[in-house]
Amino acid sequence: MTKMTNLWRALEQWPGAAAARCDWLKELGDEWSGAEAFLRKSGRRATELACPKSSENGCSRQIVKLIDGRLRAECGDIPNRCDYAILERPDISVLELNRAHLASALAEVFHLVDAPDTIGRAPVQYLGRYEISAGRGFPAFLVLPTPGFPIDLAKLDEIATASAPKVVFTPTRSSLDQNARSFLGLKQATQIALEDIVLAGGNGKLTPARPIDSLFSTLIEAIVPAGHNVPTGPGIVVPSGTNWAAITIEFVELAIIRLTVAGTSHRLGPDDLELKNATTQRPKAAWSFLKAMAQQRGRINRRRTNATDQSRISKQKEAASKALRNLTGMSEDPIKVEGDDYVASYVTHADDLRQGKQDQR
């Protein structure tokens, strides 16, 4: 896992977060392998490159085509302050930030629900909601200001009118000027810099720099004060006529599931299903049953053990079924018996847990 400090700072250096490939390579340095996935080809070619030396008159190196077909970047200062550079055509391909991929990666790493289908080029983008429990959470936004210009406060209206509290991700701590920070503070919006909280996770993914509950502790406590438990029985709204086959339950962490129905996802823990032991504060056995069901993609053999274990597993199954019925208000049993197996009527898996183990190797 590596930091991407150079990437976040580069986004505030070039208008449109776009530059020639050779400039990106130089700016990102050792971060290139992790950051490349967040860039895409713009279809344009650069006509000038950033100057490697400072200049009072805003020097840039002009790209000229030589008689033999080669490309050369020549200093724009008079007299020249830097040497020319010979380039290949791929060097001047303009790469730009892939905003959709960045938004998707942020939504995934922070387990945001209700993520938008499309991401535009506006400086403010809604990313989704972080749910502490079903119906209790806060919205998340990404702000990418234009380099060299303070962001117009009118462009922050979407954030200002969203329910509080809310989190605003920016590339760096200095992305917003004092005026914008004060405005967001009055609207109970918390600015968090990406340079402080995410690392490159490989394969175009991000990973949190520390536990998510720690990153969002201030926001979480604004909704659920310290010492208070999150209310149980969140009451998932399931549209009339929905059957279990239309519901997906994914284990994204050992004590967190993501339940998706009718296009809406809910982040839930043992508390929400009333499957936490009040004395030990640990998940009950029925939660482990649901996890095992997910890890085996919806099918558990109920005959491979002795009579005592079969009885124990049967009780876990009944408790798990009851918890899911109470959560959704659906009367149909979500876990049925087929021959020697218990089979989930809903779609379930634990791919995120499996991936997490692979990442730790």
Query: DSSP assignment, residue 17?
Result: G
Q: How confident is the model at residue 156 (pLDDT cuts 50, 70, 90)?
A: very high
- The Cα 112–Cα 134 span in angstroms is 12
**Over the stretch 334-355, which tens digit does the pLDDT of each residue have?**
999 999 899 999 999 999 886 5
CA distance 238 to 83: 66
What's this model's pTM, rounded to 2 decimal places? 0.63
C-alpha closest to that of 150 among 192, 198, 183: 183
Share of the chain above pLDDT 70, in %: 88
Question: What pLDDT is attached to residue 326?
Answer: 85
Supply φ then ψ for residue 126, to 5 degrees: -80, 130
8 A C-beta contact, residue 342 and residue 302: yes
The position carrying tokens 């519901």 is 247
Q: What is the mean pLDDT of residues 317-341?
A: 90
Rounded Cα distance between 251 and 268, Å, is: 10
Secondary structure (DSSP) of 247-298: EEEEEEETTEEEEEETTEEEEE-GGGGT-B-TTT-SB-HHHHHHHHHHHTTS
Average pLDDT, the chain: 84
Please give the average per-residue pLDDT across 236-243, as a whole number.
79
pLDDT for 54-92, tens place per residue? 544 556 777 778 777 778 777 766 666 667 677 777 887
Count of CA atoms in the C-beta half-sphere (13 A) of 121: 7
